[in-house]
Amino acid sequence: IEADRMRVSVIGTGYLGATTAACLAELGFEVLGLDVDEAKIEMLRSGRVPFFEPGLEDLVVSGLESGRLRFTTSFAEVAEFADLHLICVGTPQKDESGAADLSYVNSAVDRLAPHLSRPAVVVGRSTVPVGTAATLAARLAALAPAGEEAELGWSPEFLREGFGVEDTLRPDRIVLGTDSPRVEKAVRALWHKQIDGGVPFLVTDLQTAELVKVAANAFLATKISFINAMAEVSEVAGADVIQLAQALSYDDRIGGKFLGPGLGFGGGCLPKDIRAFMARADELGVEPALSFLREVDAINQRRRARTIDIARQLIGGGFAGSRVAVLGAAFKPNSDDIRDSPALDVAATIASLGAQVTVYDPAALERARAAHPELNYADSMRGAVTDADVVLLLTEWAEFREADPDELGRLVARKRIVDGRNALDPTFWRASGWTYRALGRQ
């Protein structure tokens, strides 16, 4: 198949799938996106993206206008249309065990395969426990009328929410697990512009490709929890974790990225990926190899409890009857995603302890309201902090980083702030009369 004539289907139109589909259309491919959720497909067809992702809506609209990007709910249609199928469905946490729920991935293969009557390449992009792809490859070959000519490879993605378009069009690396020359050829064709432009392309076996993804997220989570552990020590030892992190970052073997101490990681990926990784290691009989990730998770959870403690100290006792302003609901800035959001977790816990909690977030209010109707919501930062006994900055949106302490000081009942993300300048806020507290600093 010639690269520029290759037709691609993208199965699943969540963060990963919608971004992948729109970017591939932008690169010149003919793309058909599929989702089982009719409402989502209707929205995408009308050029609207069901979540907040900078730059994505413009790409969807131009893809639709060019005719290169279309959407459907029919597996028969994608099987008929595409030479290459990309599986981009979610693999959420299943239950308390932490294991990944593979029902969407399994169902994508089960529903696509019976329609594959000519040679086809299926490539998974979802994050899966190591060993999943080999099982799916066998299942595909067994269910597809094309038999062994329906081949499956695995190519994990590394995109960050909020930078999805950029990370898809200019990835750090492309990893593909396959031993099939045909699968390799198709994926090379898909990313030929990136590969020609110098992006490293690594071909591995299926298991290594699956592991690269979870190993990368486990490393990132570990790095964050490492610096948060240093924050715990700094607090009691009288040190300053921000200066500590800065000093560490000049060693380029360590580097400064993901060394930001604070409330810790959340979102739809890092927390559930480390838990699924541990669950899988357990199944494979190598549980001790990943037992350190249990500590990574525990350190991360402790930061939430610590933030609540600091707020309680500032109020001077219990939360009952107090007014608490929470700035931030999304799990990180530039996102409306509230999955495992540290900010909302803290807000909900404080509310359960008897405080009146008012939350403001520039993008995630609607989702937060649906998930936590017990909290109050304000439609501006000023609204949220008005009459507050304590302000908690829990997601470091630019709007909060740039807030004017004098102006906010005139609105609150008491000038007390917990900077859960080390996003503010303590000297500046203290000079304006605020009692400023942060994680890992004096």
Catalytic residue numbers, as ranges: 269
Rule CB under 6 A: choose which of 112, 136, 159, 381 binds ligand UGA. Answer: 159
Rule CB under 6 A: choose which of 50, 266, 420, 440 binds ligand UGA. Answer: 266
Q: What is the three-class DSSP state of 412?
A: coil
Residues sharing a CB contact under 8 Å with residue 310, sequence separation 6 or more, in sequence order: 418, 437, 439
Say which amino acid occupies 40: K
Under the binding rule (CB under 6 A), the answer on residue 124 touching ligand UGA is no
Q: Which residues, 332 to 361, sit near ligand UGA by CB under 6 A?
A: 332
69-72 sheet: strands from edge to edge: 69-72, 30-34, 7-11, 84-87, 120-124, 150-154, 174-177, 201-204
Under the binding rule (CB under 6 A), the answer on residue 127 touching ligand UGA is yes
* CB of residue 71 to ligand UGA, shortest distance in Å: 22
Under the binding rule (CB under 6 A), the answer on residue 51 touching ligand UGA is no
Q: Which of 78, 48, 70, 60 is nearest to 23 (CA)?
A: 60
Q: Which of 183, 182, 201, 181 is nearest to 191 (CA)?
A: 201
Residues sharing a CB contact under 8 Å with residue 369, sequence separation 6 or more, in sequence order: 375, 377
Region from 87-95, 108-116, 202-210, 254-262 binding ligand UGA, contact rule CB under 6 A:
254-262
Residues sharing a CB contact under 8 Å with residue 146, sequence separation 6 or more, in sequence order: 116, 117, 118, 119, 120
Rule CB under 6 A: choose which of 113, 206, 224, 351 binds ligand UGA. Answer: 224
Output 212 or 269, the one with its CB closest to ligand UGA. 269
Under the binding rule (CB under 6 A), the answer on residue 70 touching ligand UGA is no
Rule CB under 6 A: choose which of 29, 226, 331, 429 binds ligand UGA. Answer: 331
Q: Which residues pair with 438 in a beta bridge?
A: 419
Say which amino acid occupies 143: L
Instruction: Please give the structure tokens belonging to residue 284.
Output: 């494979």
CA separation for the pair 302, 295 (Å, rounded): 10
Rule CB under 6 A: choose which of 191, 265, 277, 400 binds ligand UGA. Answer: 265
Rule CB under 6 A: choose which of 161, 235, 345, 419 binds ligand UGA. Answer: 161
* CB of residue 335 to ligand UGA, shortest distance in Å: 7
Under the binding rule (CB under 6 A), the answer on residue 23 touching ligand UGA is no
Output 262 or 405, the one with its CB closest to ligand UGA. 262
Rule CB under 6 A: choose which of 50, 90, 262, 328 binds ligand UGA. Answer: 262
Output 295 or 406, the one with its CB closest to ligand UGA. 295
Under the binding rule (CB under 6 A), the answer on residue 260 touching ligand UGA is yes
Q: What is the three-class DSSP state of 2?
A: coil
Q: Which residues pair with 86 in a beta bridge?
A: 10, 123
Output 323 or 332, the one with its CB closest to ligand UGA. 332
Under the binding rule (CB under 6 A), the answer on residue 158 touching ligand UGA is yes
Q: Which of 9, 177, 150, 172 is nearest to 89 (CA)?
A: 9
Strands 323-327 and 201-204: unpaired
Number of residues that bind ligand UGA (CB under 6 A): 20
Under the binding rule (CB under 6 A), the answer on residue 217 touching ligand UGA is yes
Region from 35-43, 111-119, 157-165, 359-367 binding ligand UGA, contact rule CB under 6 A:
157-165
Q: Are 25 and 9 in contact (CB under 8 A)?
A: no
- Contact residues toward ligand UGA (CB under 6 A) are 127, 158-161, 217, 220, 224, 258-260, 262, 264-267, 269-270, 331-332
